[in-house]
Amino acid sequence: MIELNTIKLILWDLDGTLINSEHIHYNAGMSAFKQLKISLITTAIGDGVDSKKCFEIFTGLALNCEQNWQIFRDWEKLTVQNTFNSITSDLAIKQSIELVHYFNQLGITQAVVSNSNRKIIEKSILELNLNKFINKIFSIEDVVNPKPHPEPYLNALQYYNCLSQNAIVFEDSETGINAAKKANIKNIFGIGAITNNYQPYKSLNLDNQSWRADIK
């Protein structure tokens, strides 16, 4: 059982956790491929895959030469812009937003730890009206090794001088949950029943109107 009076830090993933934007990223990437006239070998992708791996899977182009890197950079820049233009407040995951306000009332520091681009995270936080509650952003630009590597979560714990047992993580993907586990964080809440498959501390059902009673 989690004693909230021992918790010093709440770490939120972004996409699929605070904001229902997974499809926005996918559509933005597909549009960018079309705009740049880049041929694809598949349109199927798993959850929690970073942009470089997405590009390689979709195009079959390995990032092992400057020509492919330039194609990737052009695609990524356009994808970020397409995503930025598509983020709106109606994509909020309301149960998570309620928890952000709840933890703020308890005086617990909150941060976002995401594999997303900083520009996208900042736009999302503003659209969700959470800029007063989120203390810091840890983005893909801040790490050498993104999730599922533990580096993003280890960086957050180090920045706040917080022990892993005094932190709570909210994640919606196997990639993110594994990253938190590797950082030795035990208090991991999975967003959506499917996260039961990844063995977090507890999964939160999206069919429930509120999750406050589950945070224990």
Structure confidence at residue 74 (pLDDT)? 97
CA distance 189 to 204: 7
111 φ, ψ (degrees, to nearest 5): -140, 160
**Domain boundaries, given as residue ranges, for the chain:** 4-20+90-214, 23-86
- Report the C-alpha gap between 100 and 18 in whole angstroms: 9
The C-alpha R_g of the chain, in whole angstroms, comes to 17
pLDDT, position 48: 65
Question: Which of 168, 213, 203 has the alpha carbon at shortest distance from 7?
Answer: 168
What does the pLDDT look like over 119-171, one tens digit per residue?
A: 999 999 999 999 999 999 999 999 999 999 999 999 999 999 999 999 999 99
CATH architecture of 4-20+90-214: 3-Layer(aba) Sandwich (3.40)
User: For residue range 26-48, what is the model confidence (pLDDT) as tens digits?
Assistant: 999 999 999 999 999 999 887 66
State the pTM of this model. 0.91
CA atoms within 13 A on the CB side of 51: 25
At residue 80, the pLDDT reads 92
